[in-house]
Structure formats: structure tokens, C-alpha cells
Amino acid sequence: MAKYPPEPFKIKMVETIKLLDRKERINKIREAKYNLFNLKAEDIYIDLLTDSGTSAMSDNQWAGIMRGDESYAGSRSYQHFEDSIKDIFGFKFVIPTHQGRAAEALLFSKILKPGDYVPSNIHFDTTEGNIRNNGGIPVNCVIDEGLDPSTNYPFKGNIDLNKLQQLVDEVGIEKIPIAMITITNNSGGGQPVSLENIIEVSKFWKKYNVPLFIDACRYAENSYFIKQREKIYHNWSIKEIAKKIFSYADGATMSAKKDALVNIGGFVTLNDDELAKKITSNLIITEGFRTYGGLSGRDLEAVAIGLQEGLNEDYLKYRIEQTAYLGESLLEQGIPIVQPPGGHAIYLDARNILPDIPQEHFPAQALAVALYIEGGIRGVEIGGLMFAYKDEKTGDMVYPKLELVRLAIPRRVYTRAHLDYVVGIARKVMEKRESLKGYRITYQPRLLRHFTVELEEI
Ligand code: F0G
């Protein structure tokens, strides 16, 4: 039996949720054109769409909200924000943004030229979108194990150095102005990257003088996995591990909506003076002055506190074990997931669950819709709908290797009984899987289509 960790907190405030009846759910998802982003949150019972911006804040964070200094320039809350980030990340400049993708947009707009390549393990969708939007080409170089849902490997987020070398040889180093690593590797199952790999990748890019940036959304969860799985770090504190990670990079972007336990916020942090100046000028035009960057003083305060709370080992132990509990409970019911369980989410292997729905009919979306209809649960498709693209040369659609439904767990929000309910519903969907049908697109935009796509059942 999977083990559930006792929560290292008690609950001080609650929010009511309710389950619509089945007929209502069927109507709601039809009206939403089978796109779960179009549902109203009040029509969902257990919302596992994302772990981003959905955390429950602590009493300390709420107290910080009251203390927020709303001065336009030089606010005390910015100082706290900057100090907290420098304490962990150790870079010279800290540039606040309203969330992670704004940090990406600012960075790529100042570093990419059309036709440039940006390698990573696997880029997240907004990162890909921002690279393409600046004329760049995202390249995913995760190890092969990271693309196979069934292999059990401790660091499936690692980068394959041979793939990096291949890219350099193919396109030329002058076409690679920046390299990245995403920790944990969200689009590949929330899998961690080892410190050993981070060090090797850092050395690789240093040799070519290419700056390495870390997409640090879930760096604390990644650090906890390093402590658990990389022997030499067993006795290190999580903060020491985090500091070591960033010491091998030239900068980082972060959506604070994840491991900083807040509902909004982000930043870019880096050492390069010139680049920091360019980004700051752009920030002032698009986001806000350099000491608030699109956030209120109270938001900056909540990030400053949340970042440090997110490194607490009791919290991280609970967090990672809670996610593992959901994963192991699903496996006990014979439901295939990406193994081993990731940090922030469990990923159902839709290709394996629905082998008869071809990829162009979006099996992972079919599974996500079925979970809503069966039990009011919202997950998110991470497969062909999110990542397929048209090859400019051949005109063919290129589909990703993985077809997954991500069940992301908001931090400090759901209890064991909620997760047991999710497992029960997933099991019912498994039993009915032969009756599920695929979907076809009736509307789609040019970039990031999954957010606004409209579908019909086939
Ligand atoms: N990078 C990664 C790895 C992410 O997971 C996200 C967001 C971002 C960048 C962008 O940050 O949302 O603050 O603009 N991921 C959320 C998710 C949306 O559901 O996984 P943002």
C-alpha cells in the first residue's frame, strides 16, 4: 500500500468545492468545446490543471502581504525580494516580472536573433513559444530514458551531452547564443536533473562560451530529489544544494508561482551587466519599473518569504511523498504513469491507456475529457495538442513522443481523501477506456494552441 505523509501544517482557512452531477458535467465540457481551459473553475471538483499559482500561502506569507511596501521606486518589499533571491541564487542582478513567461520574453528578446537555436532538456510550452516568437528554434536534448514513460531511472530530466555535441556540430556554435536546463523537467514528467549532469552541461557550454540559464520553477523540488538520490549530497541542506546548482549557471528565469509558493510573480536573475541593462530597459517599457516589474509590493513580499519556505525540508518531504502517493496508488490500480513519480505531478500515459486512438486524434485529450466527465477532475493534456507543429520544409505535422495527461498537485491544498477520490475516478475511466473516442480540431491559433483550441468528438 502506498504511504501518505502526515502534513507538516494544519489548515486555517478553507474554500468550498462542489461536484456537479454527471449530466451537468457533460454539458459544461461540450459548451467548453472539449477544451478544459475553457471550463469555469467553479464547475470543477478537484482541479489538477496546474501547480502554478495555485498554492495555499502560509500565515507568514499573508502577514507579509499586509506589510507590503507599495512605493513605486525602491520599495522595502523589493529589497526583501532581491535579498531572498540573491541568498539562494547568488547572481548579481534580480529583475522582477509578473510571471515566468514575462521573464522568458524579456530574456529571449534581448539575446536571440532569427535562426538561433536554444537547447534544453525539454522546454516548457511558454519557453518554446517565446523562443519561436523571437525567431529562434527550441531544441530538446533530454536523455532517451526521459522519453520512455516506463523506464525507472532516477534522473530522467538529464541532458544527453552527445545530443548537445550533435547540435553544435550541425548548426555551428555561433547559432547558439544561450543554452538552458529546466529543473525539474516539467514537460518530460516533472523528472529531476542530477547535479552531476548540471555540472557536465555547465562545463560543456563554458568550453564554447555559451551562457547557461536555468529554468528554475521547481528548483527546490529538484534539489530535494538530488539530496535523496545522489549519494554525495545526502548530508547537504536543500539550500546548499540549490546554491551549488546555480553556481554552475550564468543566470536563471523563474516562475515564482511554483516553488516560491505564491499566486503570482517571477523574475530573471543573471550576472551579465550588459544583458541585465538591456532587459531592464525593456522591463520598464513592458512590465514596470525595475523595483516592481509588474508586481505589487505585497506580491514581492510573498515571494521573498515563500522562496525560503519552499526550501524547508519537512515541507519538501511531504510534497514529494504526497505526489509519490498519488503515483503509487494509481500504479496499484494498474493505471500506467510516467515512472518514477515526478515532483509536482503525476503523468498518465495516455498512449498506453488508449492505444486505439491515433495520435492525430489526441488520445491524451480524450483521457483528460473523460476524467472530467467521470468525476469533475481537471488535468491537462501534454501531448499532440500542446506540442505538435508543422515542419516548415515538408509541411507534415510532427508529433511529440509522449502523450500524457498531467495531474499537477497544487501545493498545500488537497488532502489524502481528495487524492484517493482521483484514483477511484481514474480507475473507473480505465474500465471504460474502450468506449472513449478521439477528437478533431475545429479552431486553433498560431502559437500555444492548446489554451484556446476548440474540438469536437469524432
Ligand atoms: N517554465 C516552466 C518549466 C513552467 O512549468 C512554466 C509554467 C513556465 C516556465 C512559465 O511560467 O506560467 O509563470 O509564465 N508552467 C505552468 C504549468 C503554467 O502548468 O506547468 P508562468
CATH 3.40.640.10 intervals, the chain: 59-309
Cell (9 digits) for 241: 544544494
Beta carbons of 274 and 280 less than 8 angstroms apart: no
* 364 pLDDT higher than 90: yes
DSSP H or E stretch at residue 297: helix 297-309
What separation in Å is there between the alpha carbon of 458 and the centre of ligand 1? 31
The per-residue pLDDT for 59 is 98
3 state DSSP class of 165 = helix
Q: Could you tell me what percentage of the chain is helix, strand and coil, using 3-state DSSP and rounding each to the nearest 5?
A: 45, 15, 40
CATH 3.90.1150.10 intervals, the chain: 22-51+313-457
Atom of ligand 1 nearest to the CA of 103: 14
Residue 129's alpha-carbon distances to 35, 179, 285, 359, in angstroms, are: 19, 16, 21, 22
Cell (9 digits) for 82: 532581491
Q: Which residue's CA is minimally distant from atom 2 of ligand 1? A: 124
Query: Which residue among 124, 127, 185 is best mutated to probe the pocket of ligand 1, counting the most ligand atoms within 8 A of its Cβ?
Result: 124
Q: Which residue has the higher pLDDT, 393 or 257?
A: 257
Query: Which residue among 55, 106, 121, 126 is best mutated to probe the pocket of ligand 1, counting the most ligand atoms within 8 A of its Cβ?
Result: 126
* 389 pLDDT higher than 90: no
3 state DSSP class of 218 = coil
* 187 pLDDT higher than 90: no
Residue 319's alpha-carbon distances to 1, 252, 324, in angstroms, are: 18, 23, 9
pTM: 0.95
Report the alpha-carbon distance of residue 357 to residue 361 in Å, rounded.
6
Q: How confident is the model at residue 390 (pLDDT cuts 50, 70, 90)?
A: confident
Q: For 232-271, what is each residue's pLDDT tens digit?
A: 999 999 999 999 999 999 999 999 999 999 999 999 999 9
Atom of ligand 1 nearest to the CA of 101: 14
The per-residue pLDDT for 36 is 98
Beta carbons of 457 and 437 less than 8 angstroms apart: yes
As a whole number, mean pLDDT of residues 325-350 equals 96
**Residue 249 CB burial class (10 angstroms; 0-12, 13-18, ≥19):** buried
* % of the chain exceeding 90 in pLDDT: 94
Ramachandran sector of residue 279 (left: φ over 0; alpha: ψ -120 to 50; beta: rest): alpha
Atom of ligand 1 nearest to the CA of 345: 20
* 401 pLDDT higher than 90: no
Residues whose CB falls within 8 Å of the CB of residue 46, separated by 6 or more in sequence, listed in order? 17, 375, 376, 377, 378, 414, 418, 421, 422
As a whole number, mean pLDDT of residues 423-433 equals 97
Render the burial of 132-171: b for 16+ CB within 10 Å, e for the rest: bbbebbbbbbbbebbbebeeeebbbbbbbeebbeebbeeb
As a whole number, mean pLDDT of residues 1-22 equals 96
Q: For 59-83, what is each residue's pLDDT tens digit?
A: 999 999 999 999 999 999 999 999 9
DSSP H or E stretch at residue 390: strand 389-390
Report the alpha-carbon distance of residue 452 to residue 455 in Å, rounded.
10
The per-residue pLDDT for 323 is 98
What separation in Å is there between the alpha carbon of 434 and the centre of ligand 1? 33
* 362 pLDDT higher than 90: yes
Report the alpha-carbon distance of residue 192 to residue 245 in Å, rounded.
12
Atom of ligand 1 nearest to the CA of 185: 3
* 369 pLDDT higher than 90: yes
Atom of ligand 1 nearest to the CA of 344: 20
Q: Which residue ranges have their beta carbon within 6 Å of ligand 1?
A: 50, 52, 99-101, 124, 126-127, 182, 186, 215, 217, 255, 257, 266
As a whole number, mean pLDDT of residues 333-355 equals 96
Q: How confident is the model at residue 149 (pLDDT cuts 50, 70, 90)?
A: confident
Q: How confident is the model at residue 125 (pLDDT cuts 50, 70, 90)?
A: confident
* 1 pLDDT higher than 90: no
DSSP H or E stretch at residue 387: helix 384-387
Atom of ligand 1 nearest to the CA of 408: 19
What separation in Å is there between the alpha carbon of 76 and the centre of ligand 1? 27
* 448 pLDDT higher than 90: no
As a whole number, mean pLDDT of residues 367-373 equals 98
The top-level CATH class assigned to 59-309 is: alpha beta
For the ranges 110-114, 147-151, 181-185, the lowest mean pLDDT is seen at 147-151
Mean pLDDT of the chain: 97
Q: How confident is the model at residue 455 (pLDDT cuts 50, 70, 90)?
A: very high
The per-residue pLDDT for 150 is 86
Q: Which residue has the higher pLDDT, 447 or 435?
A: 435
Report the alpha-carbon distance of residue 133 to residue 131 in Å, rounded.
5
Nearest to 256 by CA among 73, 91, 60, 97: 97
- Taking domain 22-51+313-457, whether its CATH number is 3.30.70.600 is answered by no
